[in-house]
A = this chain, B = another copy of it.
Amino acid sequence: MVLEHELPRPVPSDELAGCPVGKLMRRVGDKWTLVLIVLLGGRAHRYNELHRSIEGISRRMLTRTLRGLEADGLVRREVHPTLPPTVEYSLTPLGRTLLVPVSAMAEWAVLHDAEMTRARAAQL
Protein backbone atom coordinates (compact mmCIF):
# COMPACT_ATOMS: atom_id res chain seq x y z
CA MET A 1 0.00 0.00 0.00
CA VAL A 2 0.95 3.61 -0.34
CA LEU A 3 2.66 4.78 2.78
CA GLU A 4 3.74 8.10 1.39
CA HIS A 5 0.22 9.45 1.51
CA GLU A 6 0.83 12.26 3.97
CA LEU A 7 3.99 13.69 2.46
CA PRO A 8 3.93 13.20 -1.29
CA ARG A 9 7.07 15.26 -1.83
CA PRO A 10 10.23 16.13 0.07
CA VAL A 11 9.06 19.63 1.09
CA PRO A 12 12.60 20.93 1.40
CA SER A 13 11.59 24.28 2.85
CA ASP A 14 8.65 26.45 3.83
CA GLU A 15 6.75 23.41 5.06
CA LEU A 16 3.18 24.69 5.12
CA ALA A 17 3.99 27.73 3.02
CA GLY A 18 4.48 25.44 0.07
CA CYS A 19 1.19 23.67 0.65
CA PRO A 20 -1.66 24.08 -1.83
CA VAL A 21 -3.58 26.46 0.43
CA GLY A 22 -0.76 28.93 0.73
CA LYS A 23 -0.06 28.68 -2.95
CA LEU A 24 -3.70 29.39 -3.76
CA MET A 25 -3.99 32.36 -1.44
CA ARG A 26 -0.90 33.93 -2.90
CA ARG A 27 -2.16 33.10 -6.35
CA VAL A 28 -5.43 35.00 -5.92
CA GLY A 29 -4.13 37.45 -3.34
CA ASP A 30 -2.78 39.99 -5.77
CA LYS A 31 -4.47 43.24 -6.60
CA TRP A 32 -6.78 42.26 -9.46
CA THR A 33 -7.20 38.48 -9.73
CA LEU A 34 -10.27 38.23 -7.52
CA VAL A 35 -12.01 41.12 -9.19
CA LEU A 36 -11.60 39.40 -12.53
CA ILE A 37 -12.80 36.05 -11.23
CA VAL A 38 -15.90 37.59 -9.73
CA LEU A 39 -16.62 39.68 -12.82
CA LEU A 40 -16.11 36.75 -15.19
CA GLY A 41 -18.14 34.60 -12.81
CA GLY A 42 -21.12 36.70 -13.82
CA ARG A 43 -20.64 36.42 -17.56
CA ALA A 44 -18.03 36.51 -20.31
CA HIS A 45 -16.42 39.89 -20.94
CA ARG A 46 -14.41 41.46 -23.67
CA TYR A 47 -11.06 43.06 -23.03
CA ASN A 48 -12.01 46.71 -23.03
CA GLU A 49 -15.24 45.86 -21.29
CA LEU A 50 -13.19 44.56 -18.37
CA HIS A 51 -10.93 47.58 -18.60
CA ARG A 52 -13.93 49.87 -18.23
CA SER A 53 -15.62 47.80 -15.52
CA ILE A 54 -12.61 47.76 -13.24
CA GLU A 55 -11.85 51.29 -12.28
CA GLY A 56 -8.18 51.89 -11.63
CA ILE A 57 -6.68 48.93 -13.48
CA SER A 58 -4.04 49.59 -16.12
CA ARG A 59 -4.15 47.76 -19.43
CA ARG A 60 -0.80 46.31 -18.54
CA MET A 61 -2.03 44.71 -15.33
CA LEU A 62 -5.31 43.65 -16.93
CA THR A 63 -3.40 41.73 -19.58
CA ARG A 64 -0.91 40.27 -17.13
CA THR A 65 -3.59 39.13 -14.71
CA LEU A 66 -5.69 37.59 -17.47
CA ARG A 67 -2.65 35.79 -18.87
CA GLY A 68 -1.89 34.38 -15.46
CA LEU A 69 -5.41 33.10 -14.99
CA GLU A 70 -5.33 31.66 -18.47
CA ALA A 71 -2.06 29.87 -17.80
CA ASP A 72 -3.58 28.23 -14.72
CA GLY A 73 -6.57 27.06 -16.69
CA LEU A 74 -8.98 29.26 -14.78
CA VAL A 75 -9.88 31.60 -17.62
CA ARG A 76 -10.44 30.91 -21.30
CA ARG A 77 -9.46 33.42 -23.97
CA GLU A 78 -11.37 33.33 -27.24
CA VAL A 79 -10.24 35.36 -30.20
CA HIS A 80 -12.85 36.04 -32.83
CA PRO A 81 -11.13 36.89 -36.13
CA THR A 82 -13.34 39.87 -36.87
CA LEU A 83 -12.25 43.33 -37.94
CA PRO A 84 -11.30 44.83 -35.61
CA PRO A 85 -10.51 41.69 -33.58
CA THR A 86 -12.70 40.93 -30.58
CA VAL A 87 -11.50 38.86 -27.65
CA GLU A 88 -13.74 37.29 -25.09
CA TYR A 89 -12.70 36.09 -21.65
CA SER A 90 -14.70 33.65 -19.57
CA LEU A 91 -14.21 31.28 -16.66
CA THR A 92 -13.35 27.69 -17.46
CA PRO A 93 -15.22 24.91 -15.62
CA LEU A 94 -12.24 24.80 -13.25
CA GLY A 95 -12.46 28.54 -12.77
CA ARG A 96 -16.15 28.31 -11.97
CA THR A 97 -15.52 25.78 -9.21
CA LEU A 98 -13.31 28.38 -7.60
CA LEU A 99 -16.35 30.62 -7.13
CA VAL A 100 -17.51 28.34 -4.31
CA PRO A 101 -14.65 28.87 -1.81
CA VAL A 102 -14.37 32.48 -2.97
CA SER A 103 -17.97 32.96 -1.91
CA ALA A 104 -17.17 31.50 1.48
CA MET A 105 -14.35 34.02 1.86
CA ALA A 106 -16.69 36.74 0.65
CA GLU A 107 -19.29 35.85 3.22
CA TRP A 108 -16.74 35.97 6.02
CA ALA A 109 -15.40 39.23 4.69
CA VAL A 110 -18.71 41.06 4.63
CA LEU A 111 -19.61 39.67 8.05
CA HIS A 112 -16.35 40.42 9.85
CA ASP A 113 -14.53 43.09 7.90
CA ALA A 114 -15.91 45.83 10.11
CA GLU A 115 -14.78 43.87 13.17
CA MET A 116 -11.20 43.81 11.90
CA THR A 117 -11.37 47.51 11.12
CA ARG A 118 -12.65 48.25 14.61
CA ALA A 119 -9.96 46.08 16.19
CA ARG A 120 -7.33 47.93 14.21
CA ALA A 121 -8.80 51.31 15.13
CA ALA A 122 -8.87 50.36 18.79
CA GLN A 123 -5.11 49.86 18.73
CA LEU A 124 -4.51 53.59 18.56
Contact = CB atoms under 8 A, between A and B. Distances in A.
Interface of A: 11, 13-17, 19-32, 34-35, 38-39, 53-57, 71-74, 94, 97-98, 100-102, 104-110, 112-113, 115-116, 118-120, 123
A107 B57 CA distance: 30
Chain copies in the assembled complex: 2
Nearest 8 A/B pairs, CB to CB: A29-B29, A73-B119, A20-B109, A20-B113, A104-B104, A101-B104, A24-B109, A16-B35
B29 A72 contact: no
A26 B20 contact: no
Given A73-B115, A97-B112, A123-B71, A17 B31 contact: yes
